[in-house]
Structure 1
Amino acid sequence: MKPHHIILPLAVAGIALAACASLPVSGPVGNRSVPEPAKPVDIKAYGGLWYEMARYENGFERDCEGVTAEYGLLPDGKVSVTNACRKGALDGPARVSRGTAKVVPGSNNAKLKVSFFGPFYVGDYWVLDHADDYSWSIVGEPSGRYLWILTREAAPSPDLRQKLQERAGQLGYDVGVIRPTRH
């Protein structure tokens, strides 16, 4: 089994994380005016493995490192979501969460509804911006309490890290509370 298949719920890049956005939250609001997604999303191009570069800390990812998310297009048009992380340290116990996402009609594929617990707990997952080549993505949801910055590389360059943090700030996010993820 590949190492990236042994990671956590919602830790694996945003979608799973966003699924919990519908659960009661106690974290601070880091963006009081979350913008609409900047551009359409090609679901096939978005698919594959993502590494969480940084996030707003949240209860379901607390103490997670090595966070990844993997997305795939299912035959019924839904998206498979596998989130993973290592609890406590890069060599800590693996946690994996699997779910499905459904594209919100009329959203240019940039908004999804994600569920990890069946039809009863559905969270928002908004691809707020992404590189044209899908090498990075900034993900949020309407409450402004959750933010994930995802890249295709486990160790993006310092220049890319800076660029993505600045872009999150331009989208209205408080960059002072962004927590980097170790890989």
Structure 2
Amino acid sequence: MRHLQLALLCLIFLAAAPARAATDVVSVPELDIGRYAGQWHEIARLPMSFQNKCVGDVTASYTLRSDGLVGVHNACRVAGGGIESAEGRARRIPGKPGQLEVSFVPQWLTWLPLVWADYWVIALDPDYQWAVVGDPKRKYLWILSRSPSMDRALFGQLRQRAEAMGYDLDALIVSAPVQ
């Protein structure tokens, strides 16, 4: 009887454990931040509270700063036709080229560790024409392109890559034309 109770207890713990992804979330092994800089168009994203008002024309622009950080300018069209934007900065993680941390708090608060969020480039076109960005906890995901639309077959391949890393894309918001 004791063995049966132990077996049932083990089954309960296994059932309650989160499902393991087919592969871990990994960043790209190389990222030339100079080539990555410039404007990107959001093609799709997982829902994020700070993007709730965005209805289209979502862009992210990255610039190299003289202090070694990367300037971040995010913008989107909101209902009524206006544009909302946010200014931030990103910093590289030493020894991890595809991993950055991003913050949108005022500069004087950036010394706090909890104001930096993971920004991992997890898939990248060799010619820097598209990118998939996420985080190790699978809370964030963006599919980005240098152009404001994306080929349907390519979009499907990038979705599959993200799903293979364990991202649940049931709630994925497609924010730009996929043709």
- Identify the residue that residue 30 of structure 2 maps to in structure 1: 40
Check whether the contact 1:34–1:143 (CA below 8 A) recurs between aligned residues. no
Check whether the contact 2:138–2:166 (CA below 8 A) recurs between aligned residues. no
Partner Cα distance (1:137, 1:107) in 2 = 17
- Identify the residue that residue 49 of structure 1 maps to in structure 2: 39
TM-score (norm 1): 0.76
- Identify the residue that residue 10 of structure 1 maps to in structure 2: none
Partner Cα distance (1:84, 1:141) in 2 = 21
- Identify the residue that residue 83 of structure 2 maps to in structure 1: 94
Do structure 1's residue 125 and structure 2's residue 119 form an aligned pair?
yes
Q: What letter matches 2:102 in structure 1?
A: V
- Identify the residue that residue 146 of structure 1 maps to in structure 2: 140
Partner Cα distance (1:113, 1:127) in 2 = 11
Q: What letter matches 1:43 in structure 2?
A: I
Q: Kindly report which structure 2 residues correspond to 1:1-183, keeping only aligned pairs within 5 A, or say none.
A: 34-64=24-54, 65-88=56-79, 92-108=81-97, 110-118=98-106, 119=110, 120=112, 121-182=115-176
Q: Which moved more, 1:123-132 or 1:155-164?
A: 155-164
Question: Secondary structure of the equivalent of 2:34?
Answer: helix
Partner Cα distance (1:168, 1:36) in 2 = 10
Check whether the contact 2:46–2:173 (CA below 8 A) recurs between aligned residues. yes
The higher relative CO (CA closer than 8 Å, separation ≥ 6) is in: 1
Question: Secondary structure of the equivalent of 2:170?
Answer: helix
Partner Cα distance (1:179, 1:34) in 2 = 23
Partner Cα distance (2:174, 2:24) in 1 = 21
Partner Cα distance (2:28, 2:43) in 1 = 20
Partner Cα distance (2:100, 2:159) in 1 = 23
Check whether the contact 2:43–2:175 (CA below 8 A) recurs between aligned residues. yes
Question: Gaps (5+ residues) in structure 2?
Answer: 1-17
More helix per residue: 2
TM-score (norm 2): 0.77
Identity %: 36
Which structure has the larger Rg?
2
How far did residue 175 of structure 1 move?
A: 2.6
Partner Cα distance (1:162, 1:142) in 2 = 21
- Identify the residue that residue 14 of structure 2 maps to in structure 1: none
Aligned residues: 151
Q: What letter matches 2:141 in structure 1?
A: L
